[in-house]
Amino acid sequence: MILTVTLNPCIDRTVAIPEFAYGGTNHITDTRQDVAGKGINVSIALKQLGVDSVCLGFNYAEDAALLERTLEERGIAHDFVTVPGNLRMNIKVFDESRRAMTEFNARGGRVPPGAVQSLLQKLDRYLGRAELLVMSGSAPEGVPDDIYGTMIRMARGKGVRTVLDASGALLAEGLREKPLLVKPNLDEFREMFREELAAGKSMERIAGELVAQGVGGVCISMGAEGAMLVCADGIFTAGAPDVEVRGVQGAGDSMVAGMCAALAGGAGFRAVARKAAGKVAVAGSGAGFETTAGKVDGKGITDDSSTNLEAASGNASVADSGAGSEAAARSMLESDSIAGGKEKAPGIFGAELLRCATAAAGGSLMQPGTQMCTRDDFQALYGKTAIKKIF
């Protein structure tokens, strides 16, 4: 079972305008409203990829029925702690000419004393049946900065793997507890490691040091520059999906969902993945891998030609394209190894994790408003996603 935690659910009101005029009059061409929240978004994306999850977190009494109905209509289980107040309202302005989003996000209502402890008690009951815990997004007033760190410790005590998508103090405190995966976006990463970057360290080296210290993997989403994953397998990059961008606010959450589905999606996701993997060969060289041997150690990035790049099936290497990539993809995506997070092919697992993440993010970019990747879009984009191994 996958658990998602949303501490600060919301309603996203998205308006589209032809071209944003700062300080001027803007004419709206389209508008929509979505019940959202980062962990909730991950659960919706997982469901659309064939993976069930349970949503935990806070719900606000005045809009509680709206949030619950949104999830129930999608067949998503939930068990929230209800607190007084309304769901916060976020305003998203999508500039159609630039394909860019400007966001105005509310902070969220204060959580009363005792609600945090009630949530932790509820989480403790679910962890005994869970395989993966996903913690995403901001926290409202009344929630301590170390909330995600506390949850990671609780999960580790019960053998449950953890994924963290947060920023600021929530991210800093969570990193102390060494989650399996963290997924900051580029701005969040730069904010967190401002001093290290100013001192001349590269993002790759900083992420590599986090891995050496015990974090399982660091995936940085970089907008138009694509994404980068640093893990024990090495460093992998993916270009931005080649799609018509209709909305951006759900892409990061769909990216997290793609990785979680690969890690713990079980039979539901393997059924989706089998069809996706079958499209790799017909996608041509764009679906292949490029490699540069190397490794990450405690000092950062060092060259090392000894990296094992053999695939789990036959002797297809990560550098192969076409049928070789298809064999590697099928081997990882159809087996229990990727669904269980148990790597059998060094150099392949990290690549497939990033491929699943990027395809899912691209599917969300194709949707207006706060909407997640669909199964069909994931399957189509998976075969078009090029992964490069740079170390």
Q: What is the pLDDT of residue 368?
A: 72
Looking at residues 82-93, what average pLDDT do you find? 94
**Range from 114-118, 138-142, 375-379 carrying the lowest mean pLDDT:** 375-379
Q: State the pLDDT confidence band at 339, using cuts at 50, 70 and 90.
A: very low
Distance CA 40, CA 53 (A): 10
What are the residue ranges of helices labelled H in the chain? 38-48, 64-73, 115-127, 147-157, 168-175, 186-192, 194-198, 203-213, 251-264, 266-277, 323-334, 336-339, 349-365, 375-382
Neighbours of 375 (CB within 10 A): 17
Who contacts 195 (Cβ-Cβ below 8 Å, separation ≥6)? none
**Range from 93-97, 168-172, 316-320 carrying the lowest mean pLDDT:** 316-320
Looking at residues 104-123, what average pLDDT do you find? 94
Q: What is the pLDDT of residue 345?
A: 36
Tokens 């405190």, residue?
173
pLDDT surpassing 70 at residue 18: yes
CATH number of the domain within which 57 lies: 3.40.1190.20
Q: What is the mean pLDDT of the chain?
A: 81
Tokens of 166: 């947060």
Name the residue range of residue 148's domain.
Answer: 2-19+28-389
Look at the chain and report how many structural domains it folds into.
1
Distance CA 388, CA 359 (A): 15
Distance CA 263, CA 341 (A): 5
Going by C-alpha positions, the residue among 11, 46, 102, 1 that lies closest to residue 253 is: 46
